[in-house]
A and B are shown apart, each in its own frame.
Chain A
Amino acid sequence: MATTAPLTSSKPAPRTGGGRRSGPLARREALWGLLFISPWILGFFIFTLLPTLATLGFSMTNLTLENVSNSRFIGLENYQRMLMDDQMWSSLRVTLVFGLISLPVSIFLPLLLALLMNSRHLVGTNFFRTGFYFPYIIPFVAAIFIWSAMLNPETGWINQALRAIGVANPPNWLQDTTWVYPALVIVGIWGVGNAFLINLAALQGVPTELYDAAKIDGAGPFSTFWNVTFPMVSPVIFYNLILTVVGLFQYFTVPLVLNQGTGAPGGATMFFNLYLYKNFFTYQNMAYGATLAWFLFLVILVVTMGLFWSQRFWVFYAGGDRK
């Protein structure tokens, strides 16, 4: 399996015959190619580029639903207001706190499960693989209701199990301003299926010769993991990391479904993206919502660029092409 080249490498398979071609044949090929990708180009303009630019435009006006006709250009005023907005900072803090709790689980739980599945000692690998993947298929709204019921402080099985093993005052989970974050991680735990499968495939793709060589060199299990396994699966960990981080910055549907986006308990689930959508759809302040949206876009851009840059220190591409 050709496992490892980064996200954006896009070289088409080399042509037989080679050489640079030009003239009518090449022009015809280019025309066909552009024709085939034209649905995406069209869609990119209509549903991505123009709306993104329009949002940027909105963010520099005072557009709200009431003053559509009187709205005017106000420069960077909204951005100034945003920097003074305590609610914005609090929602950003909520997002970061949850992200810091959730990220390690999203990265390491699938990796650990995949390592277990990849163990030569495990009997019935296919059964386990299907078992750990399949809750991913359950519609997330249904999964939210299942897990939030499991987390019910009185009737939920999690607290009943905790009481059974002697925890006198188990947490109030989703109703507690501190415990709500681990609770939300638990609610999302069935989502590890994809990352788990991808990790497993990467582990299975590590050439056995590398393990044999490590054995001959006298490497123990931990040394083998750090020097062989981890570098070989690091591109896949990177891929999961990028998607998880991008997803975490936009986290809001679970609290929206759980408590209609009120931020309960006590604003602890007023995530940045939720605050943003509230500005759009509840306060109908398009200009300020657009400002928050562009700010989010820039934050995600900076963070992902930072992560791409960090690859050089910890991501190993066996093919050698890192671009």
Chain B
Amino acid sequence: MATTAIDKTAADQPTAQPVTQRRTRRAIRWREVWGKLITTVVGAILLFIFLVPLIYMISTSLKTMGQMTEAGAPWYPAVPADYTTPDGKTYPVYEVPTENGTEDLALVKKGRKASEFVDPNNPEAGNIAWEGSWRALDRPWEWSPTWQNYADAWTQINFPRLFLNTLAIALFGIVGTLLSGILVAYGFSRFRFPGSELLFTLLIATIFLPAAVTVVPTYTFFLAIGWVGTWLPLIVPHYFANAYNVFLLRQYFMTIPREIDEAASIDGANPLRILINIIVPMSTPVIIAVALFHMVFAWNDFFAPLIYLTSKPDLQPIAVGLARFNGIYGSKPPLIQASALMASLLPIFLFFISQRVFMQGVVVTGVEK
């Protein structure tokens, strides 16, 4: 296709020099187009494969249990087709081989060797006799989403309870992680004190410390002060800053020119005032990013709530509730998928309204060290 187009133009041209130039230019343009097309199609196929499980989740969450166990059922939510006569009788529809090819006919009179069918599109034509066993026939499937799974999961998992628990734990945690993270990051980004480099290295090194090394004494400590079985072990530790957030906030604070806070300092503002009036207002994007990270963390947190709230199902967050639900209803995939989707909705929503800030935050922790 490309070559014929070029040949035609070539034939129209009297001199050789411009022809080759135009030829190469066209060839380059075609290569460009093909490159774009192939790359984008490859990308789209990969993305599709990557996201197929989401389609699976949505589709399964709308299926009936009957469809799950039926061989030959379609991938989309569907039920076997029925035909309801004008006078209110319902007959199952089958795929019946006839001399006109396979037709979808409603079975009105069952017989061992021969049965009578009626054509749902032309019921006036009367019964059609058919030789053969109706049991060997397949039924056609009809698109039919079952919303009941969501209602069932909502009540059986006690979704509102789990959702509010997670939200409360997340919000109290966000307050703590922001307060402590901002203070500590400000300390590390703006002040000279003995051992500041060593302490910062120590802070970063805590990333490599396996949680297993601290879990039992910490658990024992919380047990001794009566906090096991409450939300406090899931909230209070976040009021003491963590490495990732401090790092992210500090990176951002360091991009704010010192001249600004030095000017305020000359005007008599103390460091706390400078932090509140200058640094914090100028750092809204990173503060939002840290808050969102904590939100996602709280929605994911599984092991800590599992050990601290084992005996208190009413206080558990969604990740633990979901796992418990799976233990009970593991044999009912539509319910599980419906609950998984409900659990994902808030994080997905938050991500899509703030994706730029969110993804920028990820990049800063990873790249700008």
Contact = CB atoms under 8 A, between A and B. Distances in A.
A51 B302 contact: no
Contacts of B64: none
Interface in A112-154: 113, 116-117, 119, 121-124, 128-135, 137-143, 145-147, 149-150, 152
A81 to B, nearest CB: 18
Contacts of A312: none
Main secondary structure on chain B at its contact with chain A? helix
Given A30-B191, A40-B246, A281 B202 contact: no
A83 interface: no
A55 B213 contact: yes
A33 B193 contact: yes
Interface string A83-98: 0000000000000000
Interface string B327-364: 10000010011001101100110111001000100110
A41 to B, nearest CB: 7
Main secondary structure on chain A at its contact with chain B? helix
Contacts of A165: none
B224 interface: no
A100 interface: no
Interface in B58-74: 60, 68
Nearest to A194: B362
Contacts of B240: 39-40, 42-44, 46-47
B343 A239 contact: no
B196 A33 contact: yes
A58 B216 contact: yes
A43 B180 CA distance: 10
A177 interface: no
A296 interface: yes
Nearest to A117: B43
B56 A128 contact: no
A132 B355 CA distance: 13
- B interface bracket (residues with beta carbon within 8 Å of A): 35 or more
- A interface bracket (residues with beta carbon within 8 Å of B): 35 or more
A220 to B, nearest CB: 16
Nearest to B243: A40
Nearest to A260: B327
A115 B132 CA distance: 60
A243 B348 CA distance: 25
Contact of A142 (B39, B189, B322, B363): B322
B271 A149 contact: no
Given A40-B184, A198-B362, A116 B46 contact: yes
Interface in B16-41: 32, 35-36, 38-40
B254 A13 contact: yes
Given A121-B39, A197-B362, A253-B303, A145 B340 contact: yes
B187 A37 contact: yes
Interface stretch (A72-80, A209-217, A287-295): A287-295
Contacts of A293: 210, 212-213, 215-216
A149 B368 contact: no
Contact of A198 (B326, B327, B340, B363): B363
A122 B43 contact: yes
Contact of A7 (B46, B68, B323, B369): B369
B182 to A, nearest CB: 9
B99 interface: no
A3 interface: yes
B344 A296 contact: no
Nearest to A239: B366
Interface string A254-284: 0011001000000000000100110011000
B183 interface: yes
Contact of B216 (A149, A239, A280): A280
B184 A296 contact: no
Interface string A150-186: 1010010100100000000000000000000000000
B2 interface: no
Contact of B199 (A41, A142, A243): A41
Contact of B50 (A15, A121, A132, A235): A132
Nearest to B303: A253
A33 B208 contact: no
8 contacts: A12-B254, A29-B191, A32-B191, A36-B184, A142-B344, A160-B75, A201-B366, A273-B212
Interface of A: 1-13, 15-16, 26, 29-37, 39-44, 46-48, 50-52, 54-55, 58, 113, 116-117, 119, 121-124, 128-135, 137-143, 145-147, 149-150, 152, 155, 157, 160, 189-190, 194-195, 197-198, 201-202, 205, 235-236, 239-240, 242-243, 246, 249-250, 253, 256-257, 260, 273, 276-277, 280-281, 286, 289-290, 292-294, 296-297, 300-301, 304
Given A121-B38, A149-B60, 15 more contacts: A2-B368, A10-B196, A13-B258, A32-B191, A39-B239, A43-B240, A44-B202, A46-B240, A47-B218, A139-B322, A139-B347, A149-B57, A152-B333, A189-B50, A301-B208
The 8 A-B residue pairs with the shortest CB-CB distance, nearest first, are A43-B240, A33-B191, A36-B187, A198-B366, A51-B214, A30-B193, A54-B217, A51-B217
Interface of B: 32, 35-36, 38-40, 42-43, 46-47, 50-54, 56-57, 60, 68, 75, 179-180, 183-184, 186-194, 196-197, 199-218, 221, 237, 239-241, 246, 254, 258-259, 262, 271, 296, 299-300, 302-303, 307, 318-319, 322-323, 326-327, 333, 336-337, 340-341, 343-344, 347-348, 350-352, 355, 359, 362-363, 365-369
